[in-house]
Structure 1
């Protein structure tokens, strides 16, 4: 009875209502994903009736499994290729831009900083349509296909590493860099040997975020895709979802989900390794806050 009275006096001491809402939200968000992943192991062709456990749609079926179906295999490998290439291009550019914006003063860098912030609220479909116009109407290196998809993804994802690295720069401050210069290091050497090493956690968090977002992207890659060989998993699922697909489509998306989870796990372990010894830097909440 005293516990009930205490809750009425201070309902925020133990917010069971918020806890319940959180559980309901997680169940609503994750349950469909888990069901779709479960039916990727279905032995039959049904995606709604369970017919036994099997790896048929991953590699067992000689025609329609992900391993043997050329179109599904191509979509998966193309998605992973886009993720790796776009991340490898976006993160170094974002780190360089963050360093430049952190040190450059004036109206031009202020405008660039505003453009970075605006990209967070700019609709992705607007970026995709604009890039499609550039690729099809103007004479530029941007062409439909893998090249156009990579350039489009880099353009859209660049703001993430810029913001994350700049936040880390504000946390670090200028003391370490100035101390390195006082000890005889050149300004470039201080950046390379001191500052970049301290930025490694933010760089890894940026890489994980960009990679996970790229392999899930649909709008940009769909508008900038060329022939069927440049269809990633998201576009493949969209094109075949209404054509009575087999559970092989579930298996394809499950593999992509596993890749995203693996990337996040690797990023979290790398973050813990590079921030060992730092105060309050080993929790998952800190890593997600960094990312």
Structure 2
């Protein structure tokens, strides 16, 4: 058989071809058996079991078919050995070895682009998908951005591992239910380069956290008595929890006192700026 005895081929080449030779021509047909072994699976190649040198020929091209499948596999070895010659004796080398390099690289991406969850949801799963199952464990790094704060609004591990023979994985995200009134927040997860796989088109996943904390507003005191000559009095309203957003609270005035005759007030709403829990309005008492 030809030399060298070690070769590398890509799975997409579809075949392995090499030449077996006789050192001299024979007046009758010469037959040999082919023995195929190695780490290659039987479904990954095709081969004749017996070959014939026609009388007078000294060279014979041998072709082993390589099956270009769509499976993620480790590189495989295939060793072809000539045995049981009939009409000739066995020379050296009688074996050739090939490494078949796999050409199927799994593509990894998020299963969907986004999701929206309530702040009190607890743990959620962000799903990853592979177009084909992986033949070995893969590790996927990712980065976190967005308006939500890690460890205050959510917790998440730093990498995700997908075990061999699987075509999906999940990133667990634990949503923290705080007691703050805040705008809806986002978590943007961006995939890094995985081991033993490539990145698909959907590299980003956005989680929108819908806030569930609505402040309750109340007067600091529900009633009071003042003298007509007191002048101006301050009335305070309070939010039960801090708010990170502007809050406007309208109010109405009823009762037996008359506006502009017994009292005057400049506002009809209470404005709570962000991060403010108490706000005071002024009411002028008119002494008649």
What is the TM-score with the length of structure 1 in the denominator?
Answer: 0.21
Q: Of the two, which has the highest radius of gyration?
A: 2
Higher strand fraction: Structure 1 or Structure 2?
2
Higher helix fraction: Structure 1 or Structure 2?
1
What is the TM-score with the length of structure 2 in the denominator?
Answer: 0.21
